[in-house]
Amino acid sequence: MNKQKKSLGMFTLSMISVAAVLSVRNYPSMAEEGWSMILWYFIGSFFFLLPLALVAAELASAWPQEGGVYAWVKEAFGIKTGFMSIWAVFIENIPWYPTVLSFMAVTIAYIFNPAIANNHIFVGVVMLGLWWGLTLLNFLGPNLAARFSSLGTILGSIVPSVVLIALGITWLAMGKPSQLPAFEMKEILPAKFNLGVLVYASSILLMFAGVEMSGYYASHVDNPQRKYPKAMLLATLLIFLLSVFGTLPIAIVIPADKISLTGGVIQVMDTIFTSLGIQWVTPIMAVLLVLGGVALMSAWMLGPLTSMAPISRAGFLPPLFRKQNKHKSPVGPLLVQGVLSTLLILAMVFIPNINTAYWILTSFTTTLLTLYYLPVFAAVIKLRYTQPAKPRPFKIWGGTGGVWIISGIGFIATAFTGFIAFNKPDSITLFTSMEYLLVMMTGTFIWMVPYLIFRWIRRPGWKVDE
């Protein structure tokens, strides 16, 4: 029976990580960096993605019965810190969802008329329609949502990445001009190293977030000590290569100052399909990209919400946050999330410069993700000391020194990325640097205020004895 349970192979485990992380939506923001995108992708892959995957594997294999970041952080630092971490990822999704929805809305415009991609009313209506459609889908339960996410990831992320790579090769083979300079090793380094340029690196954390999902499967693998590191190395290489070669066509075809952060992917596809005389393929790819965006959102939507239930039962959240329907879907948190995201979508529609709105929302997401991940990297170290005898089917090699190195790299990379996110990108001219810093500090604090309020006003009646 045990053999049947532990049946996941190295390749399958790798694909779980690839599916949880890879998203073509992130390519345009990195394409603006030119050849230096290779450096940023490398840093993100091997200084954040790989350490996080290994840390999550050890934690999940030792505490699989509860699973999830909340259980790991609570085990190391107590329920209050576990609540903080989960609230950060729950609330970071609120500003993150509109960034994905805006990408999808602009992509949908190419199905009908690319010109309406700049119509904020059209973008807003489509964003709201997609948002509530996906919310209702998740009302039907996690099993249906999971199956949809798996299929959508393949069709909407992996397939478009491969198509982008093929189109980039075709563009160059046709003798079309490249917006990138001739490749030289020195081109990998950014032209300048000021904070305005480094801020683009903050999107790397968001880009590679989610790989911890594969850690939940570590206890379902034969010989995880040997297979899991190999699987994560393979996944990291695949994500790195698909990201680099999927981003390059955007940088090659579109000038850096003309790249749309919300529509850069379909923008490149439409340009190349038009030059080949097969523009009719553009709407097909647009549908796939939208499918990928919906699948990505669906994969993230239920996980943090289901983690709110044990926090509610422990008395730190009102009973609404543990309310489920007959499909075991967390309808209470879904409705709260739905209303908050709707308000943010409407606000985003009325901001004149959508690229500015996109970057600010992405930066909020990054600072909140920092609060989510830092306790995870710290937890694996503390638990090595406080619970050294706990069985760990997968264990980061090298003893306490090894876990300090692996977790330390991830912790420092995460902290640095969070710091960078508070600095104004060069492309944003709506605010001064000081104004942007104040916006980011105030906004991040406001997103976390409900966590502090819930801790302050908690009532004995909220707790459920288990």
Distance (Å, whole) CA 437 – CA 422 = 6
pLDDT digits 0-9 by tens, 46-83: 899 889 988 988 888 888 755 478 889 999 999 999 99
Place of tokens 């909140």: 368
Reported residue count of the chain is: 466
Residue ranges of the chain with pLDDT lower than 50?
1-5, 67
pLDDT digits 0-9 by tens, 275-331: 888 888 888 988 888 888 787 777 677 767 877 888 888 899 999 888 888 887 888
| 392 contacts 29 by C-beta, under 8 angstroms | no
Distance (Å, whole) CA 269 – CA 260 = 13
pLDDT digits 0-9 by tens, 363-391: 788 888 899 999 999 999 999 999 999 98
Give the domain ranges of the chain. Answer: 2-462
308 token code pair? 């709110």
Sign of CA dihedral 410, 447, 17, 54: positive
Q: What is the pLDDT of residue 422?
A: 83
pTM above 0.85, yes or no: no
- In CATH, which of 1.10.3720.10, 3.90.1150.10, 1.20.1740.10, 2.60.120.40 is domain 2-462? 1.20.1740.10
Q: What is the pLDDT of residue 431?
A: 78
Backbone phi, psi, residue 8, to 5°: -75, 135
100, with CB counted inside 10 A (0-12, 13-18, 19+), is: buried
